[in-house]
Chains A and B, each alone.
Chain A
Amino acid sequence: MENDLNLKATELRLGLPGSDEPERQMIPRPNKRTLSDIVSEGSRSTTEEDHQDTAPPAKVQIVGWPPVRSYRKNCLQGKKHEVEGGTGMYVKVSVDGAPYLRKIDLKVYRSYPQLLLALENMFKLTIGAYSEREGYNGSDYAPTYEDRDGDWMLVGDVPWEMFISSCKRLRIMKGSEARGLGCV
């Protein structure tokens, strides 16, 4: 059915962008030890990942580490892009039904799981797992984005780097529009 290579190119994985098999890569590098206490909202990976339950996911935030207080972290969020000479990537995020939009800096995130987790936390909703075949099927919400061509795309289809370079704004769709999205 699916070409293995094809699947790998487009699947959602918990891995650093560009890395082929993140779990294996992590272990030999001495300064990237595996972490025992990792926060994750459940793996967003596809069936390929299921048997790799002993291998930890790549860089996901550990609760309370590094030990920086929340009010300090909040102060920095707004300023990153100014300091780096405007290389931050602020995009508007709208959620169907919410009274106002938010803005997030895509540069802060390194992978789809991180981004989706942040969106879930920001808007207090559940987006669910991505699959190439069915999108976010089963979830009440589906994240979509407007790309350079002005088209509305499902978040997760393209590799992360391609996504952040083409994403102009995000829209989290809700309800019946969302369910079944990805099933063309």
Chain B
Amino acid sequence: MQKEMAYSFPDEVLKHVFSFIQSDKDRNAVSLVCKSWYEIERWCRRKVFIGNCYAVSPRMVIRRFPEVRSIELKGKPHFADFNLVPDGWGGYVLQWIAEMAGAYPWLGEIRLKRMVVTDESLELIAKSFKNFKVLVLFSCEGFSTDGLAAIAASCKNLRELDLRESEVDDLSGHWLAQFPETCTSLVSLNISCLGSDEVSFSALERLVDRCPNLRSLQLNRAVTLDKIANILRRAPQLVDFGTGNYAAELQPDVFSNLAGAFSSCKELKSLSGFWDVVPAYLPALYSICPRLTSLNLSYATIQSPDLIKLVSHCPRLQRLLVLDYVEDSGLEELASSCKDLQELRVFPSDPFGVEPNVSLTEQGLVAVSLGCPKLQSVLYFCRRMSNAALVTIAQNCPNLTRFRLCIIEPKTPDYLTLDPLDAGFGAIVEHCKDLRRLSLSGLLTDHVFEYIGTYGKKLEMLSVAFAGDSDLGLHHVLSGCESLRKLEIRDCPFGDKALLANAAKLETMRSLWMSSCAVSFGACKLLGQKMPKLNVEVIDETEPPDSRPESYPVDKLYIYRSVAGPRFDMPPFVWSMDEAVKILH
């Protein structure tokens, strides 16, 4: 029953048009045009992304989108990566799987990040979805190889199994043998996080053998160097490969076998793994280096000269992850060899050492900013920085979209002038107009937040630690950053005023994390009371927040918008400030 309008189309035509619209943002916009478009769109939405699993309930998602084939869910706050979120906080996927098992029999793809996934959940996935194709468990935990065995055994058309950075209870390597002989569909397999020494290597070899479409394979540390050649010869079509252990006594036949195996992989563009590297085996890679666009050497404890040699063979490199053993000299070489570089991550080899153990300073990053005009994404750990260097970097790289700098010692000032680093970071936000993600460090006053609020109009995620002087800092960010979605703060003197004055802003964001700040319990309660669309959760492992005066600061605070109301799976150390919940108590 279409309205009699000259420009109305039958549903089927609209559906067909909508099928070309893939982005969530566009689909959401489409659904707002009118009621009939909303209806048509919701029946043909196949992919749903839920950035906070507590922002909405499974039932609500299922009710609105009845025909979903692919779902992505994120659970714990980002600071969980650094042990700031206690175990048992939440992020359980089981309820989601249980409800989707009934509602979405054709669900084919599940992607989870920072969620707790039990073997029971995996077993439920294995038996509920007949057309299951893709399982990505990114930084998840709570499951064992038993759960993986269930997936392997039941999912006849599995294409992707990616366990990157997850914590798996590795009970036995035999789960790999559970893939039936008829399973030939694997395109991507990432088992790099598996811990134990037991990997059923023969099962792995047979699996690789029978999956001609395998493009991406990441082995775990247990797989030794001598086995790599066997695998590569079975899968010369690989595009993305993660080695296991890259160490062995130097033997000419092992070396030439390995070099030959690598050179037979004509499509290989991306390498990772490289635990325990023996530098003498790196030249085995030289034949494929000219094609490499991505190299993850962040576990490779090799020194600068060896890194320089390797990197100088990779002129097409776009992405490099490396330890600070690369040193300034290595980064200077990178800057002159790799003009296509877009992403650089430099990790600390000795994060808790007081004195620098390597010669890596701000100079390395400055060199890369000068030599690599396409640089967009930076994660850099170092021990000293200057405003001058940051200004130079900002001016050299106006296209930066992600800039995360970690000066290891908190509150470190500009090493040349002893000033705060406000001006330097100010230059970053001012020049890099497309900056979406920023992490601050070093000595910073409220001024840096003034710059961020003024210039950071596209900023979506901001991480702050040991910075600022007063509530004004937080106020600048909340009132100025129009695109802000995620804000995480630790150890800053931000209190009630800025938070309460900008309460409405919080409804436009995904989440706010504040720990070891100065927000009082009273303010949390007030926020919970006044803002029904926010879940305000106080985390305190030592004692209930109401056992102290209301003016006392809370230990940790996590605020997120939600249409689902307060959650019911909170552990004893998490308190919801929701009015309704308090009445029930």
The residues of A with any CB-CB pair to B shorter than 8 Å are 16, 30-33, 35-37, 59, 61-73, 75-76, 78-80, 82-84, 108, 110
Question: A20 → chain B, closest Cβ, in Å?
Answer: 17
Q: 5 closest Cβ contacts across the A-B interface?
A: A64-B82, A79-B301, A33-B411, A37-B516, A64-B84
In the complex the two chains form, is A73's CB within 8 Å of B351's CB? yes
Most buried by B among A16, A32, A65, A71: A65
In the complex the two chains form, is A31's CB within 8 Å of B412's CB? yes
In the complex the two chains form, is B301's CB within 8 Å of A30's CB? no
A-B contact pairs, 17 of them (CB 8 A): A16-B354, A31-B413, A32-B409, A33-B410, A33-B411, A64-B83, A66-B381, A66-B408, A68-B82, A68-B351, A69-B82, A72-B299, A73-B351, A75-B299, A80-B350, A82-B301, A83-B301
Question: B142 → chain A, closest Cβ, in Å?
Answer: 16
Residue of B nearest to A85 (CB): B303
In the complex the two chains form, is A62's CB within 8 Å of B410's CB? yes
Question: What residues of A have a CB within 8 angstroms of the CB of B84 in the complex?
Answer: 63-64
In the complex the two chains form, is A76's CB within 8 Å of B301's CB? yes
Question: Does B569 count as interface, using CB distance less than 8 angstroms?
Answer: no
> Would you list which residues of chain B between 330 and 383 have a CB under 8 Å from chain A?
347-352, 354, 357, 381
In the complex the two chains form, is B83's CB within 8 Å of A70's CB? yes
Given A59-B354, A73-B351, A83-B303, CB of A67 within 8 Å of CB of B81: yes
Question: What residues of B have a CB within 8 angstroms of the CB of A82 in the complex?
Answer: 301
State A72–B379 Cα separation when bound (angstroms).
15
Question: What residues of A have a CB within 8 angstroms of the CB of B466 in the complex?
Answer: 35-36
Q: How large is the interface on B (under 10, 10 to 19, 20 to 34, 35 or more residues)?
A: 35 or more
Question: What residues of A have a CB within 8 angstroms of the CB of B347 in the complex?
Answer: 68, 72
Question: Does B325 count as interface, using CB distance less than 8 angstroms?
Answer: yes
Question: What residues of B have a CB within 8 angstroms of the CB of A63 in the complex?
Answer: 82-84
Most buried by B among A31, A61, A79: A31
In the complex the two chains form, is A36's CB within 8 Å of B276's CB? no
In the complex the two chains form, is A65's CB within 8 Å of B465's CB? yes
Residue of A nearest to B491 (CB): A37
In the complex the two chains form, is B348's CB within 8 Å of A68's CB? yes
Question: What residues of A have a CB within 8 angstroms of the CB of B351 in the complex?
Answer: 66, 68, 73
Residue of A nearest to B383 (CB): A31
Question: B156 → chain A, closest Cβ, in Å?
Answer: 32
The residues of B with any CB-CB pair to A shorter than 8 Å are 79, 81-84, 165, 167, 193, 275-276, 298-299, 301-303, 325, 347-352, 354, 357, 381, 406, 408-413, 415, 418, 443, 465-466, 490-491, 516
Residue of B nearest to A32 (CB): B409
In the complex the two chains form, is A67's CB within 8 Å of B412's CB? no
Question: B295 → chain A, closest Cβ, in Å?
Answer: 17
In the complex the two chains form, is A71's CB within 8 Å of B193's CB? yes
Question: B359 → chain A, closest Cβ, in Å?
Answer: 14
State A35–B348 Cα separation when bound (angstroms).
21
State A79–B516 Cα separation when bound (angstroms).
34
Question: What residues of A have a CB within 8 angstroms of the CB of B413 in the complex?
Answer: 30-31
In the complex the two chains form, is A83's CB within 8 Å of B82's CB? no
State A12–B348 Cα separation when bound (angstroms).
30
State A63–B79 Cα separation when bound (angstroms).
11
In the complex the two chains form, is B79's CB within 8 Å of A64's CB? yes
Question: B386 → chain A, closest Cβ, in Å?
Answer: 12
Question: What residues of B have a CB within 8 angstroms of the CB of A33 in the complex?
Answer: 409-411, 443
Question: What residues of A have a CB within 8 angstroms of the CB of B491 in the complex?
Answer: 36-37
Q: A63-B84, A83-B349 are in contact. List 11 more A-B contacts (CB 8 A).
A: A61-B352, A63-B82, A63-B83, A64-B490, A65-B465, A68-B348, A68-B381, A69-B81, A75-B299, A83-B301, A83-B303
In the complex the two chains form, is B354's CB within 8 Å of A71's CB? no
Question: What residues of A have a CB within 8 angstroms of the CB of B408 in the complex?
Answer: 66
Question: What residues of B have a CB within 8 angstroms of the CB of A65 in the complex?
Answer: 82, 410, 465
**Which listed residue, B193, B349, B411, touches A76 by the CB 8 Å rule?**
B349
Residue of B nearest to A76 (CB): B349
Question: A42 → chain B, closest Cβ, in Å?
Answer: 14
State A61–B408 Cα separation when bound (angstroms).
12
**Which listed residue, B83, B354, B406, B409, touches A110 by the CB 8 Å rule?**
B354
State A36–B555 Cα separation when bound (angstroms).
13
